[in-house]
Amino acid sequence: MNQNWNAFLAEHGAQIDANTVVSFGDPQQELKAAASQSVIADLSQFGLLHFSGDDAQLFLNNLLSSDIKHQQPGQAQYSSFSTPKGRMLASMLVIRSESGFLIQLPASLREAMQRKLSMYILRSKVKVVDAGIDTALLGLAGPDAATMLKQYFGTVPAQPMETVFAGTAAITQLAPAMFLLHANIDTAPTLFAQMQQQGAIPVGEPAWRWLSLQTGFAWIYPATQEQFVAQMANMELVGAVSFTKGCYPGQEIVARMQYLGKLKRRMALVHIDCDIADAPPGRELYSPELPGQAIGMLADSAPSPEGGIDALAVVQISCWEHGVTLGGSDGPALSVRPLPYPVA
């Protein structure tokens, strides 16, 4: 996190731990605000890579699971990078700009993934840099979010996965009434203050994480690396997998699972009556159908505005009718909530 940006947030009441804004003083009220009001969040929990060069598009298309080859400037899409065995090492948001490709992923994976992807460059005309050094990532969501952005920038993306570029900022619509902003670090304080003056309530990482869960997209973290094939985490349902492009690492496994119908685990949005400390990403799940054997794992989790937590859980499909619990047979039960897209 940039020191000046850090200082600005602290002056506005941010409580910062390990370069992440935990809250602006009242986490529970921030969660309640996220559920019904317009909120703004610093997103320093994410990292940002910029790929440029004559071969950048083909390079990324050969490595990632989505169709980068046909991605146009102003388009965003989810994607993933996997091992040759089809297990995801990272999930990401890819934004095409005129100068290249911005890739957003959890900050805890940014450095390792930059090194990993750089290993494939060899003689390709591709350059990758840490774009988070001079960029502030902000999230704006809520019923008035689009109006606020239009008043400030004069423009706003019209639909999900569309990006508009306004001056030194890029605005991406992630979902209806939910936006991501890549802003120049020098202009970010003015932008943040203006959104706040228009009524956006500053919130910390837990509130934004809860909002993110509702979109049904699973970020991969160190604790969940190599745990899921793309379809287990519904990646093909959010546009993160192309079945018509050429080969990429893990493509054979992903295609076989799609066409031979061997998918045994699926991700669901769930609620659990427990404390967030007991339900981190990677926590195993159990069911009476298979006593003593883990039948799934939490992909992500966040405190819920109604108490307890909401989470994205990858679970063996056959186990739902027998019940699924957290951490063991005597753990709290998972109750399923609707996702924003149909799951077969």
Read off the pLDDT of each residue in 281-288 and give the average, rounded to a whole number.
Answer: 98
Decide the pairing of beta strands 88-97 and 135-141.
Answer: unpaired
Alpha helices in the chain (DSSP H): 3-11, 27-36, 56-61, 107-118, 145-153, 188-197, 205-213, 251-260
How far apart are the C-alpha atoms of 72 and 68, rounded to whole Å? 9
Handedness of CA 58, 63, 69, 71 (dihedral sign): negative
Does the structure show a pLDDT above 80 at 170?
A: yes
Return the SS3 of 305.
coil
The kind and range of the H/E element at 46 are strand 46-52
Does the structure show a pLDDT above 80 at 186?
A: yes
Q: What is the pLDDT of residue 142?
A: 98
pLDDT tens readout for residues 211-231:
999 999 999 999 999 999 999
Read off the pLDDT of each residue in 241-260 and give the average, rounded to a whole number.
Answer: 93
How far apart are the C-alpha atoms of 224 and 240, rounded to whole Å? 18
Read off the pLDDT of each residue in 235-240 and give the average, rounded to a whole number.
Answer: 98
How far apart are the C-alpha atoms of 299 and 313, rounded to whole Å? 6
Q: What is the pLDDT of residue 326?
A: 98
CA distances from 48 to 174, 338, 341 (A): 16, 30, 27
Directed axis angle between helix 188-197 and helix 3-11, to 10°? 20
pLDDT tens readout for residues 312-343:
999 999 999 999 999 999 999 999 999 999 99
Return the SS3 of 28.
helix
- Confidence at 261, pLDDT banded by 50, 70, 90: confident
- Which residue is listed with tokens 């040759």? 84
What's the gap between Cα 165 and its chain centre? 21
Does the structure show a pLDDT above 90 at 1?
A: no
- Confidence at 2, pLDDT banded by 50, 70, 90: confident
Read off the pLDDT of each residue in 228-244 and give the average, rounded to a whole number.
Answer: 97
The kind and range of the H/E element at 309 are strand 309-316
The mean pLDDT value of the chain amounts to: 96
pLDDT tens readout for residues 121-136:
999 999 999 999 899 9
Phi, psi values for residue 270, rounded to 5°: -135, 160
Does the structure show a pLDDT above 90 at 168?
A: no
Residue 14: is it exposed, middle or buried by C-beta count within 10 angstroms (0-12/13-18/19+)? buried
How far apart are the C-alpha atoms of 333 and 314, rounded to whole Å? 14
237 near 341, Cβ under 8 Å?
yes
Pair of tokens at residue 102 = 């911005």
Q: What is the pLDDT of residue 289?
A: 95
Q: What is the pLDDT of residue 192?
A: 97
Does the structure show a pLDDT above 80 at 262?
A: no
* DSSP code, position 125: S
pLDDT tens readout for residues 35-83:
999 999 999 999 999 999 999 999 999 999 999 999 999 999 999 999 9
CA distances from 106 to 78, 214, 284 (A): 13, 17, 21
262 near 256, Cβ under 8 Å?
yes
Read off the pLDDT of each residue in 261-270 and give the average, rounded to a whole number.
Answer: 92
* DSSP code, position 197: H
How far apart are the C-alpha atoms of 200 and 193, rounded to whole Å? 9
Does the structure show a pLDDT above 90 at 3?
A: no
How far apart are the C-alpha atoms of 94 and 80, rounded to whole Å? 9
Pair of tokens at residue 55 = 């071969």
Residues composing the chain? 344
Q: pTM for the complete prediction?
A: 0.96
Q: What is the pLDDT of residue 108?
A: 97
List the beta bridge partners of residue 61.
none
Neighbour tally for 1: CB within 10 Å? 19
Does the structure show a pLDDT above 80 at 103?
A: yes
How far apart are the C-alpha atoms of 265 and 314, rounded to whole Å? 6
Decide the pairing of beta strands 39-42 and 201-203.
Answer: parallel
pLDDT > 90: what percent of the chain?
94
Does the structure show a pLDDT above 90 at 19?
A: no
How far apart are the C-alpha atoms of 216 and 7, rounded to whole Å? 33
Pair of tokens at residue 327 = 């951490």
